[in-house]
Structure 1
């Protein structure tokens, strides 16, 4: 049971988010989706029969099992002609383009050992053994940016999760309760630690990032905001790299896989049989026969590719959608970090809070935004608004203005300049 709670905390928790919904889609739901996609392939590999090879009738059961095991572990292949190879190497400019389907080639009467004479080329299919591990690794990669964000935000001088947990507790209490006011006071005190610069840079040795030295920076900090934008960029980079690696692993233009499916559905009205996932292949095996070794070329069927084709088609569409969502989310948060956007957000919250006159909102919002909140303060308030609603952000901004105004008044009465 304790392990389950630890796993729950590792996945980011359910009640105290420290990011937005797009991040939660990446680091939690996408990781679970890829794990579930890997389950059917794992089941087929270790419980069912992932490959079935046709062997000569005089082979014993032990020899047939050996052929199946050998062909599964060493990979199989299919043949393409020289013209087909030229099309695969130099495809038409406009995708999707025709593909060579192994089942359409007639192997009957063909001497498989004279591939040069017949101008044939072997195309090896060697990915299917690794497909479940690839899916699991993809799911883990979607969680890596959040691990960095959670670790550095936790050790940045103020516990961001505790701060947002406090905001969540305040939102759950109806207005007018004494407990709500006490929690608001505690939140403002913790928030003041953040914006005063003690949370400006990561102070934990385990959280040292390239180009981000660990040092103290007085005044309003921007470390958390810039780090979060960097993590957003990592989410985009993660999806782009996964597309590139899948394309290299499939040894074909996997970039266009989804477009090819759409093209065949529109033109033919049927699901496209992709050559990336052939169902019939060939396997060359050397086996003992009558006291000597003899080479056999066996036809093999890969039932597991029925799963691979559908699952990696789902993966293509999923990655294409989440890449766009991550890119839009990155642009959105970059726009939110601009000074004008931060000022407009604080001005809106101050006007809604009604803690000052409307005529003073513009001047007060400029003062508190530039001199007190800064990048990180506005960023945390944005997170509060995203997870707890604009009403909660408005209440907190009103309390922060009252705290800032009291500190400003005390400082002026002490003879200092603010």
Structure 2
């Protein structure tokens, strides 16, 4: 978010560190995993279109051109698998029951996966539209920016009490009217809109991982959901991974060659060296998906059960022992519970987590002074 970016600049002007306005598991999803998958895609693409993705064992009478043709036709027309201890069935319907159809699409599958993992990271798109170019170096500019952040939080909080009749719908299209209506619904009926929006992004991460697992299970088959568990069990027991039915390395291929009006059918044995790499990379991707699913589920469960725990924590920090007057303590509790509420606490927590503790202290001080001024004037609580 743009406010976090400004606060980061204020807090650490001399150190040009990388923004971390999310947690490690988020960066694992939209940064590290995307980078890793793109590297895999480059390697697989190089293997397919620059090197030799398939090598077929052809009859000895085949010339070099015939061998190249056999490799190309087997790569294009797919291969199938028959165990070495079984005879090749004469019926094509039985023979092609275990046809491998995915390996030509491996680079595109990897690119699609990378796009899916990056997509929920929508705050980058927001930053592109809201990015501030000015540098915050001078003290006056620093104070001005802190006031801007404080006012932004204050306006957001106090807009919950704005009347929807103040909105002018004239000249607005249907989409704009819907957005405005949603905004006022948020202001009047929801004090944790930002928290829920943040949690919704976590749901997108979780949904993305689950959908990819089920799509790959439908595409690759052979119980893809259990693929990683089987590999882990073999690794713990010290067993060799062996040849997976999903990533077969030795397959068969049928093709026809017309010679002098006679059509000859050949069945050759082919090796797919790239499937060795596909198997290892797919296991790493599977493991990362499981980690993300588990962490996202834990986060959602924690967020749904947390309720107002964050508010209570902020109250404990804000009501220090120095505030010995009961009315002052009650006022500060009202400030946190009824004025800041979930959204205000959440934004301040995000700022503090990004290393802007001093900035957060100043913002809280300004917000509290503003709250006290309203309270002393009207003698009301923000219920």
**Preserved CA contact (<8 Å) 1:53 1:67:** yes
Per-residue CA deviation, residues 285-322 of structure 1 (Å, 9 max, x unaligned), is 11112322222111111111111111111112222222
**Preserved CA contact (<8 Å) 2:334 2:381:** no
Decide whether aligned partners of structure 1 residues 142 and 240 sit closer, same or farther in structure 2, where only a CA change above 3 A counts.
same
Decide whether aligned partners of structure 1 residues 57 and 352 sit closer, same or farther in structure 2, where only a CA change above 3 A counts.
farther
Q: Give the drift of 1:17.
A: 4.7
Decide whether aligned partners of structure 1 residues 115 and 24 sit closer, same or farther in structure 2, where only a CA change above 3 A counts.
closer
Counterpart for residue 382 of structure 1:
349
Match of 1:250 among 213, 220, 232: 220
Decide whether aligned partners of structure 1 residues 31 and 386 sit closer, same or farther in structure 2, where only a CA change above 3 A counts.
same
Counterpart for residue 293 of structure 1:
263
Counterpart for residue 262 of structure 1:
232
Counterpart for residue 120 of structure 2:
145
Q: Give the drift of 1:122.
A: 3.1
**Preserved CA contact (<8 Å) 2:311 2:342:** no
Q: Give the drift of 1:27.
A: 1.6
1:113 partner SS: coil
**Preserved CA contact (<8 Å) 1:51 1:303:** yes
Q: Give the drift of 1:140.
A: 1.0
Q: Give the drift of 1:264.
A: 2.0
Structure 1 regions of 5+ residues with no counterpart?
Answer: 1-12, 80-101
Please tell me whether residue 106 in structure 1 is matched to residue 85 in structure 2.
yes
1:216 partner SS: helix
Counterpart for residue 146 of structure 2:
184
**Matches of 2:115 and 2:24 in 1, distance apart?**
18
Decide whether aligned partners of structure 1 residues 362 and 133 sit closer, same or farther in structure 2, where only a CA change above 3 A counts.
farther
**Matches of 1:307 and 1:31 in 2, distance apart?**
18
Structure 2 regions of 5+ residues with no counterpart?
Answer: 1-15
How many residues end up aligned between the 2 structures? 357
Match of 1:372 among 311, 314, 339: 339
- TM (norm. structure 1) is 0.73
Decide whether aligned partners of structure 1 residues 43 and 55 sit closer, same or farther in structure 2, where only a CA change above 3 A counts.
same
Counterpart for residue 342 of structure 1:
310
**Preserved CA contact (<8 Å) 1:347 1:361:** no
1:9-408 equivalences under 5 Å are 15-79=18-82, 102=83, 105-106=84-85, 110=87, 112-114=89-91, 122-147=97-122, 180-197=142-159, 214-217=182-185, 218=187, 221-336=191-306, 338-339=307-308, 341-351=309-319, 356-357=323-324, 359-360=326-327, 362-388=329-355, 390=357, 392-408=359-375
1:296 partner SS: strand
**Matches of 2:365 and 2:325 in 1, distance apart?**
13
**Preserved CA contact (<8 Å) 2:89 2:95:** no
- TM (norm. structure 2) is 0.79
**Matches of 2:311 and 2:252 in 1, distance apart?**
66
**Preserved CA contact (<8 Å) 1:349 1:398:** no
Worse overlay, 387-396 or 31-40: 387-396
Decide whether aligned partners of structure 1 residues 296 and 187 sit closer, same or farther in structure 2, where only a CA change above 3 A counts.
same
1:388 partner SS: coil
Counterpart for residue 89 of structure 1:
none
Per-residue CA deviation, residues 47-88 of structure 1 (Å, 9 max, x unaligned), is 110001122233333332222112112211012xxxxxxxxx
**Preserved CA contact (<8 Å) 1:279 1:303:** yes
**Preserved CA contact (<8 Å) 1:20 1:387:** no
Decide whether aligned partners of structure 1 residues 207 and 371 sit closer, same or farther in structure 2, where only a CA change above 3 A counts.
farther
2:98 partner SS: strand
Q: How big is the alpha-carbon RMSD for the aligned residues of Structure 1 and Structure 2?
A: 3.8
**Matches of 2:175 and 2:355 in 1, distance apart?**
28
**Preserved CA contact (<8 Å) 2:206 2:293:** yes
